[in-house]
Chain A
Amino acid sequence: MRENFALTEAGFKVGLIYRLHYFASLLSVPVSLLIYFYLWKAIFAYSNATVIKGFTLDEMVSYYVLVMLVGFITYSECDKWIEESVVRGDTIMALLKPYRFIVWHYFFELGLTGLGLIIEILPVFVVGFFFGLKIASIPYLILFVISLALASALYFLVTFIVGLTSFWLFKIGGLRRVKRSMLAFLGGSMLPLTFFPETVQNIFLVLPFQYMRYIPILIYLEKYSIPYSITLLGIAATWVILLYVLARLMWNAAFKKFAGAGT
């Protein structure tokens, strides 16, 4: 395990070099929250309602604060790193080290995003409370933390799988955009999923995307009963296992492709 955390340390150091990037993304937080705040305030005023699709104005604003929070915590960009190494031709560096490829990237990412967390999480909370975010009750807080862990695992696995496709496609900018927009629409970071028709929502229930954003947020907002929340976490955990198996199969194929060409 110690050698795994050495990678985390390396990730942390690389993150430090690009630290300005985090501060830049931090600046975007209050700006986009202000936009969402005034947008929804206008929508609520216009429709003369106190609750829209199950959300009050306060909850709606909290929803977007949480979108950002969950986004920062589960952040991964290993697809970018894998793509870069494939294009530059130095995947060999990771392969000559005694690690499984997924382990190598996971622990490196942990350091990279860990730094982001330290820099970003507190300011987002402060700004969030300023916009009326409430602290959830203890049981929901515990469920929220579990859902976050699952969301991180899911997001990492999806990102890793997208990254592996660069062994065949080389440049994967397009796929990465697809991943982001899937998350925006199907994951709920654009709009709460209650805005979709009931049948569509049922389909979303069996897809992995909403477990990366929407479900943790709604758990924090205490929108689900505790037993139902636990069921949802079970589905998320199942997806973690499925995606892990898929990632493994993909990696075996990618290594065959790589080692067959030997570049």
Chain B
Amino acid sequence: MVIIQVKNLKKVFKTHKREPGLGNALKSLVKRKYLVKTALKGISFEINKGEVVGFIGPNGAGKSTTVKALSGVLYPTSGDVNVLGYTPWKDRIKYVRNIGVVFGQKTQLWWDLPAIDSYYLNKQIYRIPSKEFKRRLNYMLKYLDLREVSKKPVRDCSLGERMKCEIVAALLHNPKLVFLDEASIGLDIIAKNLVRDFIIRQNQEQGTTFLITTHDMQEIERLCQRLIIINHGEIIYDGGIEHIKKRYLKKKLVHVKLETKKNNFSFKGVKVIKEKDYEIVLNLDTQISSVKDLVDYLLKNYNVADINISDPPIEEIIEKIYREKKRI
């Protein structure tokens, strides 16, 4: 069942152009220059019920613009959007009852109150039956380790604590559809894993549909079956995550710091990018050697102080996709 249908969604922003300096600031009071920026060049996609879709792209690619249009707080320049049978920005009040949204940069909790007060408010707003509310709240607070945190004012929470509280607020009313826009910022590894598992459970048990934007490729890998990549307001990839993984995520960047100097590193499937005294940077092809083999080898033969393994940055993947498209 299709629950999100986007057709030729286009958004053009017109903003004031501001030059630096006091003189220019004064000038702009009289004569304003406008900057026209096309955030979305007419994108189309569909999302089915129960899907967990990763929505990625570099900064300024149009991710947040899309999520805002889908959540009813942005008028697009043209195009059609149908979510759960509503046009979000036209039917805002009826529509938002059915969704949950987390914007990493904005808070939806009452800043002055403890998160728990916001939850009780949401109980009334979304008419959650008392029994279900208590059950879900207790479960979520316990799961995300928020029992104490939810009792202090949101203004006193750390970013990570606040984000966990936000996620609870967005899911408490068991919405059919949830948008998470950079919702993992500020979370440590443990919290990230907890939230991840939590999302997976919610998806499997309740059939909740998720659209997730993030810069964290690992998060996408673990959570999503499907990936939409957007760049400069255009969708450049829409398909299974496996394909992307096999094609573009087969390389890992391994950053090693050594306690003692050792040179001339060589290993099957590894390209040495940099080797200098106490530091080695390697590019590993996971189709030839696994991460585990490489790390085992390193630990056995080298006096390792620190290892950092990362994915190639999203920009690199996008570049490769473009290159491939040109070839076709």
Contact = CB atoms under 8 A, between A and B. Distances in A.
Contact of A95 (B11, B73, B120): B73
Given A3-B124, A13-B117, A98 B107 contact: no
Nearest to A260: B75
Contact of A14 (B65, B71, B103, B110): B110
Interface in B97-156: 97, 101, 103, 105-108, 110, 112-113, 117-118, 120-121, 123-127, 153
Interface in A226-262: 256, 258-262
29 contacts: A2-B124, A2-B127, A7-B121, A9-B121, A13-B110, A17-B112, A17-B113, A89-B106, A90-B106, A90-B107, A92-B73, A93-B106, A93-B107, A95-B73, A96-B108, A97-B96, A97-B125, A98-B94, A98-B126, A99-B125, A100-B93, A259-B73, A259-B75, A261-B15, A262-B11, A262-B65, A262-B69, A262-B73, A262-B75
Contacts of A14: 110, 112-113
Contacts of B123: 6
B74 interface: yes
B92 interface: yes
B198 interface: no
Interface in B43-84: 65, 68-69, 71-75
Given A10-B113, A89-B106, A259 B89 contact: yes
A9 B119 CA distance: 13
Interface of A: 2-3, 5-7, 9-10, 13-14, 17-18, 89-90, 92-93, 95-100, 256, 258-262
Nearest to B127: A3
B96 A262 contact: no
A191 to B, nearest CB: 37
B68 A262 contact: yes
Contact of B113 (A13, A93, A96, A258): A13
Given A6-B124, A92-B106, A262-B69, 9 more contacts: A3-B124, A14-B112, A90-B108, A92-B73, A92-B103, A92-B108, A96-B73, A258-B73, A262-B75
Interface string B26-56: 0000000000000000000000000000000
A92 B105 CA distance: 11
B267 interface: no
A98 B13 contact: no
Contacts, number: 80
Contacts of A258: 73
B204 to A, nearest CB: 25
Interface of B: 11, 13, 15, 65, 68-69, 71-75, 89, 92-94, 96-97, 101, 103, 105-108, 110, 112-113, 117-118, 120-121, 123-127, 153
A100 B93 CA distance: 7
B121 A6 contact: yes
A221 B99 CA distance: 53
A242 B85 CA distance: 35
A98 B117 contact: no
Contacts of A90: 106-108
A226 to B, nearest CB: 42
B96 A98 contact: yes
A260 B108 CA distance: 21
A90 B94 CA distance: 21
- Nearest first, the 3 A-B pairs at minimum CB distance are A6-B124, A262-B74, A259-B75
A240 B94 CA distance: 27
A96 B125 contact: no
B73 A98 contact: no
A243 to B, nearest CB: 22
A89 B68 CA distance: 14
Contacts of A18: 112
B92 A95 contact: yes
Contacts of B124: 2-3, 5-6, 9
A98 B106 contact: no
Given A6-B121, A6-B124, A261-B13, A96 B74 contact: no
B93 A10 contact: no
A17 B111 CA distance: 11
